[in-house]
Structure formats: C-alpha cells, structure tokens
Amino acid sequence: MYIHIPFCSRRCDYCAFATWDDRGELISSYMAALKSQTRSHVAGWEEDRVTSVFVGGGTPSLVPARDLAEVISLLPLAPGAEVSVECNPDDVTVESMRILAGAGVERISLGVQSMVDHVLVGLGRSHTPENVASAVAAVRAAGIERLNLDLIYGGAGETPADWNETLVRALALEPSHVSAYALTVEAGTPLASDPARHPDDDDQADKYVMADEMLTGAGLANYEVSNWARPGEQCRHNLLYWVQGEYLGLGCAAHSHIDGRRFWSVRTPERFIAAVTEGGELEAGSETLDEEARELERLQLALRLATGVPAETVPVEVRHLVDVEGGRAVLTREGRLMANEVAVRLVPRSGGTS
C-alpha cells in the first residue's frame, strides 16, 4: 500500500511531486476522506493481505500523527509487515513517533538531503543539520530502530568537501539505510528556471563514487543504484517497485499496479475530497502494457538491483559495464553511473523472466 499525503509547509525548489504548501486548511477534510477511502478498499480483505505500507508525500509528518495512525490501523497488516513513513526533521517529536509506532510503524525515512547549512538553503530546505540529529534521537526514543536517511547530492555550491561532510555526519547517526539521489531538474520548478543552479554531470558522478565508497565502507551495501542498507535492512516496499510487484495507492495522485494494470487517482486534494465525499470518479487514468513491453520494463527495472539480469540480455557493447557471475549480469560501479544507457540496450529473452 502507498498512502499519499500532499501537504508541505514549504515546497522545495527542485520538487515536482503532487504537493501543495498553501492548502493547510484542507488537512482535516483530506484525512477524513483518506480514512473513508481506506475503509472502502479494505472491506472484505483477508486479515493478513498487506505486506508493506509506505506513507509518502509531500510531508506525512505535517498531518496530525493520530490521524495518520488511524489510517494505518485500518489496514489488514500481515505478520511482520513493513510500515514506513516519510518525515521532515522539523516535525518529528517523541510523542508523534510513539503514536505512529503504536499503529505499527517500524521504519522512518527522514528527508535530510544535506548536513551542510548553505547547501540546504540552496535546495530550498528549511531544516538545519542540528534538527536532523534531534529528529533521529526522537525516533529512537520512541522505540523505532529502522531509520532511513534521504540525501541529495549535486546542489548549487555543494563542494566535494560539503558532500563528504554530509556523508560523515549522516553515518555518525548510524542509520540502517541511506538513499542518495542525484539532484535532477524537473520542468516547472524554481530550479528549472535558474540554469545557474543546474547540477553538473561529472560533479555528480564523482559524488556518487564518494557515497558508494563511504557507505559501503561503513557496512551499508548497495542493493539498488541509489540505495544502501545494512544486512537485512533493505526497504521491502522500495524493492516491490523494482520487481513489478503489486501495490495499491490511496489518496490524491497515488499510483497503483494491480494485475498488470497501472492506474492513478485525481491529482489535487480538492478533487480527491470531492470524489470521496460525493461518490465521484477517483481514477484519473490508466495503462496496461503488452507482454513484450512489460518484459522489457521488467529487465530495465531489475538492472538497477544488485541481483541484476540474465547475462544474455546484456549486449556485448555494454558488457564492460557489468560483472557476470552465475549467469547474472550486475552493474559495476561505473555501470551504475551509466544505468540508463545500459537499460535502453537490453534485449529481452523470448518468453523468459528477468
């Protein structure tokens, strides 16, 4: 299950997600509609159907923790289900984390991005590195031990020394999982309209290598191009997306994938609230891939994982970017930097699996 919370206190300069920082007055009615939608979807489900839950946004920690806990508590969780919630460091308190833990939340993903003040300002973030440390302490005081730190590299003015400092300070917090993403320029964002702040590809490649060396050296293994984790701490919900697993999205703009069909909800919170309360149409669109396209996508997604793809699907011209063992081809570190270039050259096996 994916649950979308579309509210933010401030929109980051690079963000193109379905989020709004001027709709706070809708939070109460949105959460009521979300509870209603959840009840409707899970009615009649077997008790252990939901194996993972990810609450994202937006800023889930901006809504009252009790409301979020009520939504999660409606889900028929399987034993050992992974329940994760994204949080802004500024919003985290011991009390709110205890409320979420009581609803079954056992993984918190903190939107850290950087541990250097001027880099955070350049990204349009409002928190400070000190707030990150306080948030981590609050998460652990509430008894939640599984902690992911989300980082972004390549922001304007971020030197290699700044990125090194971010990694050192992040690792000092002893996270069980780290996601490190290259800053990307999305159309329609403040970042897109300011070319002077656009990232440099070579700089980002150097910073990726630095991240991989430091995170791996600290005991966090790379299991997906942008994700590292301690043994047994991989995000199962994250992995679900990379293996074409099935998921149901709740809330506005949420995407779902069931029986090979992808579909998504109306984008704005106002339309979502109206559709739920007035019995209107929630689905905004859908697509179904034919088997050939689905197999190619399956390969392209699997390529990003440490388990790789069947070796014979990788053509000779990009074989130097993979390691082959036991019939599987896995991207090397250099290959991960060129993952998209390898992906578009993959050759699906007729009737095969990835």
219 and 325 both lie in a single domain:
no
How would DSSP label each residue in 215-268? HHHTT-EEEETTEEE-TT---HHHHHHHTT--B-EESTT-EEEETTEEEEE-SS
154 and 213 both lie in a single domain:
yes
Pairing between β-strand 146-153 and β-strand 107-113 as defined by DSSP bridges = parallel
Q: What is the arithmetic mean of pLDDT over 289-313?
A: 96
In this predicted model, what pLDDT tens digit does every residue of 7-28 receive, in sequence order?
999 889 899 999 999 999 999 9
Range of the domain at 318: 291-343
Reading the block at residue 283, the tokens are 């689905």
Asked if residues 158 and 114 have their Cβ atoms less than 8 Å apart, the reply is: yes
pLDDT of residue 351 exceeding 60, the answer is no
161 and 91 both lie in a single domain:
yes
Reading the block at residue 329, the tokens are 């081809």
pLDDT of residue 354 exceeding 90, the answer is no
221 and 323 both lie in a single domain:
no
Domain assignment present for residue 254? The answer is no
152 and 21 both lie in a single domain:
yes
Domain assignment present for residue 252? The answer is no
pLDDT of residue 46 exceeding 90, the answer is no
195 and 301 both lie in a single domain:
no
Domain assignment present for residue 69? The answer is yes
Domain assignment present for residue 118? The answer is yes
pLDDT of residue 157 exceeding 80, the answer is yes
Q: In which band, very low, low, confident or very high, does the pLDDT at 349 lie, cut at 50, 70 and 90?
A: confident
Q: What is the arithmetic mean of pLDDT over 285-306?
A: 96
Domain assignment present for residue 257? The answer is no
Domain assignment present for residue 168? The answer is yes
Reading the block at residue 16, the tokens are 């193109």
230 and 308 both lie in a single domain:
no
In this predicted model, what pLDDT tens digit does every residue of 304-340 receive, in sequence order?
999 999 999 999 999 999 999 999 999 999 999 999 9
Q: What is the CATH number of the domain that holds 95?
A: 3.20.20.70
Domain assignment present for residue 126? The answer is yes
Q: In which band, very low, low, confident or very high, does the pLDDT at 187 lie, cut at 50, 70 and 90?
A: very high
100 and 198 both lie in a single domain:
yes
Q: Where a domain ends, among 225, 242, 259? A: 242
Q: Where a domain ends, among 206, 224, 242? A: 242
Alpha-carbon gap, residue 177 to 108, rounded angstroms: 10
Reading the block at residue 11, the tokens are 């929109």
pLDDT of residue 352 exceeding 60, the answer is no
Helix boundaries (H) for the chain: 27-42, 65-73, 94-102, 117-123, 129-141, 160-172, 201-217, 236-242, 269-278, 291-302, 333-337, 339-343
Q: What is the arithmetic mean of pLDDT over 49-75?
A: 96
Domain count for the chain: 2
Q: What is the arithmetic mean of pLDDT over 115-122?
A: 94
238 and 136 both lie in a single domain:
yes
174 and 315 both lie in a single domain:
no
* Amino acid of residue 158: E
96 and 206 both lie in a single domain:
yes
| Predicted local confidence at residue 47, as pLDDT | 84
| Predicted local confidence at residue 48, as pLDDT | 85
CA-angle at 217, arms to 299 and 301, nearest 5°: 10
Backbone torsions φ then ψ of 84, nearest 5 degrees: -120, 145
97 and 238 both lie in a single domain:
yes
Q: Is the pTM of this model over 0.75?
A: yes
| Predicted local confidence at residue 275, as pLDDT | 97
